[in-house]
């Protein structure tokens, strides 16, 4: 089974979001507070002003799945918070395996 980080692909993320959403997610990537970081699940909150949304990324048999407590993501579309957590997850994973 692949890990969460293995399933995060920049091109795929871009295809799941419009350019503004992707750009906003990239901005928010520095404000991610990771609360759980495992091979098959990453959970984090994103400080974006106001109540920080919690995002969860999980590996499912169908690939990567995500949820955002702000309610702005769907199974087919990511939101800026999901992008931020995905980018931060990938950064951490690549730091671990230089
Ligand atoms: Zn969101």
DSSP notation for 36-81: EE-SSEEEEEE-SSSSPPEEEEEEETTEEEEEETTS---SS---HH
Segment 2-29, tens digit of pLDDT: 999 999 999 989 999 999 999 999 999 9
pTM of the model: 0.93
Q: How far is the CA of 2 from the centre of ligand 1 (A)?
A: 24
Q: How far is the CA of 27 from the centre of ligand 1 (A)?
A: 13
Our count of domains for the chain comes to 1
Q: How far is the CA of 39 from the centre of ligand 1 (A)?
A: 22
Q: Which domain holds residue 14?
A: 4-96
- Mean pLDDT per 10-residue section of the chain, whose length is 98 residues: 92 94 96 95 93 96 95 95 97 74
Q: How far is the CA of 48 from the centre of ligand 1 (A)?
A: 10
């Amino acid at each position: 089974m692949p890990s969460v980080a293995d399933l995060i692909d920049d091109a795929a993320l871009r295809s799941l979001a419009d350019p503004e959403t992707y750009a906003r997610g990239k901005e928010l990537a520095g404000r991610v507070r990771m609360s759980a970081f495992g091979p098959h699940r990453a959970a984090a909150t994103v400080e974006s002003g106001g109540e920080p949304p919690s995002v969860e990324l999980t590996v499912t048999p169908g690939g990567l799945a995500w949820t955002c407590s702000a309610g702005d993501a769907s199974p087919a579309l990511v939101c800026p918070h999901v992008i931020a957590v995905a980018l931060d997850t990938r950064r951490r994973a690549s730091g671990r395996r230089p």
